Structure 1
């Protein structure tokens, strides 16, 4: 008999402990009429190996590694791959921080209808309670800090998800992709049916400070990413846009595709001179179509020199430079707006004074473009 519900976990570079606990809560479900597709989207080997070993302890879970570490985190692509892979009538979009009450699947089966989708209440756990649960799972006696609504933990008919083309793959980093999906689903003949029972619990984790997005870090971060995502969602509302993705939504690169980037025939070395960076990415890069090109941007020693600082303070004419954070943001925007469906690799050096960007500029490598 075909499973009725598939739970999709998008994942990247998280600790295996919270994954284990989430899957343990599913192991205790009163109804076993579900399966899990665990989509690891480009984790580093240290994380991937650990979580794969954890996931393989649960026979209802299929572990799938897609993407590669050079790609930016894209929850939408991970979810869409799971949606395309699933064989069940209904999909639950999940999160590795979530613990499932033992009657969650039972309730989801009651709610499952071809013309509705459901969102759930969730209880947020303190650090102390999370650590207690990680030591010994016991959801029958649990305290929550507060109860909130979820936008991203939803139960959807697979046909409705296919009708809207899944989650919009424009969204990178964090913000608005869940609300956008729910809005577009509502444009179909699929109506929202909220579940008011508290059947989900969120494991505590440190919040990433938004101010860190204004600093250059090895982990790619884009300034104002949350606002850009919000604007994208608002435009969909203004246009009543149903299906924003290409015909090949759900397409993902695989780990071996990163090997193709090692065949780069062109290496472009740039310093962080503003005009050089801007002109290359807006104009010169076009000449490398149908090839693999590597761009290395190195912070010029002169940029932080006393001589350069004094000339700027005195208002004397000098070559405008970009900070490495500004270079980072420019390239990340180019990826999101132009190259998000290409095979590429993005890396910031440990000392933060170099950025490496390699891209396979072969338009035929992705049929959806």
Structure 2
């Protein structure tokens, strides 16, 4: 049987100039038995419309847009929704900011096998180098990634399915690729680092997602939590993921459209026990209706603060702590449900539809 490769490229709000440069490097080398799907996970609606116009100019490249604006980034879900539906023998995960070597697919396709995963180093370009209109070989790099950077990989599909795909616990940026490599090795499969030649060069861009102050949805400790989870996978030699959640679910646009309305509104202050109790009570608030919970900061007088310090009765959290509690609860329990989240230092809103 011939090798069949499907390539998935997850994306959220990446600069369209960078996207175009990447696609221009991939598109000319598409051959039989290779498909490319760009999965846009919750970019702004105006951006998604512009992205569709751009993709229409690259025949043979498919675009899937997920209506998950107002949600944490989940690269694993992007990958799994392709994995669960592909008929290919191999699945490749790439990044949206890469420029590909023009001979990569022609070189790699004959080398694919069903026994091992391969992953590749990336050369990182400076801001100035990234915008030059030159050939791949003429682009100079500042430094290369090493074997610890596992994001660009080609997997045998049957092996990924055997371990239940990418772990969708991992939200935000990082660790999902390290995790899947660890679990494949724990299952007894070979994972090889192909360091002999640079096939990918990274276009410089700002990292605009690692701060609550930048308006994006962000959990301040999630990257550290993700890293500790990979350490647990390594220590206990874990193999399967997503054991208590379905994975690779395609968000249903009709369900997400319902989030434009609110069927029940609940207001909660930043008092710790109120936040905990409200989040714990979500499952009994009713199915198939849109609930909006507004967590609102209340001003506490200095007199009450002193009284509470001397004889604690209530413990008020700051907005960052409330934010992190809500988002971790979503990751652990509600990540597959339609929800919309917004944050400010004075008020946090969670709209969610509990489904059967």
Q: CA deviation at 1:188?
A: 3.4
Q: Deviations over 1:210-243 (max 9, x none)?
A: 5x3xx55531111211111112112222332222
Match of 1:198 in 2: 198
CA distance in 2, matches of 1:4, 1:317: 64
One of 318, 343, 346 as aligned partner of 1:353: 346
Q: Give the deviation of 1:317 after TM superposition.
A: 5.9
Distance 1:255 1:2 in 2: 36
Distance 2:127 2:99 in 1: 14
- The verdict on how the C-alpha distance between 1:324 and 1:89 changes in structure 2, with shifts beyond 3 A counting, is same
2:223 to 223, 226, 246: 226
* Corresponding residue for residue 367 of structure 1: none
Report the CA distance between 1:267 and its aligned residue.
1.1
In structure 1, how many angstroms separate the alpha carbons of the residues matched to 2:304 and 2:213? Answer: 21
Q: What residue number does 1:105 align with?
A: 105
The aligned counterpart of 2:265 is 267
Q: Cα distance, 1:245 vs. partner?
A: 1.2
Q: Does 2:122 align with 1:122?
A: yes
Give 1:318 shift: 7.1
**Whole-Å separation in 2 of the counterparts to 1:276 and 1:116:** 50
Relative to structure 1, is the Cα distance of residues 225 and 49 closer, same or farther in structure 2, using a 3 angstrom cutoff?
same
Structure 1 match to 2:250: 252
* In the alignment, structure 1 residue 71 sits paired with structure 2 residue 88: no
Shift of 1:194: 2.3
Give 3-state SS (helix, strand or coil) of 1:39's partner. strand
* Counterpart Cα distance in 1 of 2:338 and 2:77: 13
Whether the 8 Å CA contact 1:21–1:137 is kept in 2: the answer is no
* SS of residue paired to 1:193: strand
**Counterpart contact for 2:266–2:292, Cα < 8 Å:** yes
Deviations 1:73-122 (A, max 9, x none): 11000111122233321111010011110111122213300001101121
**CA deviation after TM superposition for structure 1 residue 275, in Å:** 2.6
Name the counterpart of 1:54. 54
> Do 1:264 and 1:291's aligned partners in 2 also have CA atoms closer than 8 Å?
no
Moved more, 312-321 or 328-337: 312-321
Instruction: Look up the SS of the partner of 2:64 in the other structure.
Output: strand
Q: Summarize the Cα distance change of 1:245–1:62 in structure 2 as closer, same or farther, 3 Å threshold.
A: same
Paired residue secondary structure (1:270): strand
C-alpha distance in structure 2 between counterparts of 1:178 and 1:314, whole Å? 45
SS in 2 for 1:168: coil
Unpaired segments ≥5 residues, structure 2: none
Determine if contact 1:343/1:359 at 8 Å carries over to the other structure.
Answer: yes
Segments of 5+ residues of structure 1 without an aligned counterpart are 365-369
Report what 1:160 is aligned to.
159
Equivalent residues of 1:217, 1:348 under 8 A apart: no
Aligned length: 351
Matches within 5 A, 1:1-80: 4-29=4-29, 33-80=33-80
CA–CA distance in 1 between the matches of 2:165 and 2:209? 29
Q: For 1:301-339, what per-residue CA distance to the aligned partner results, in whole angstroms no more than 9, with x for missing partners?
A: x24x66666x38985767431111111111001101121
Is the contact between residue 15 and residue 51 of structure 1 (CA under 8 Å) also seen in structure 2?
A: no
Matches within 5 A, 1:125-204: 125-132=125-132, 136-149=133-146, 150-196=149-195, 197-204=197-204
Distance 1:275 1:313 in 2: 14
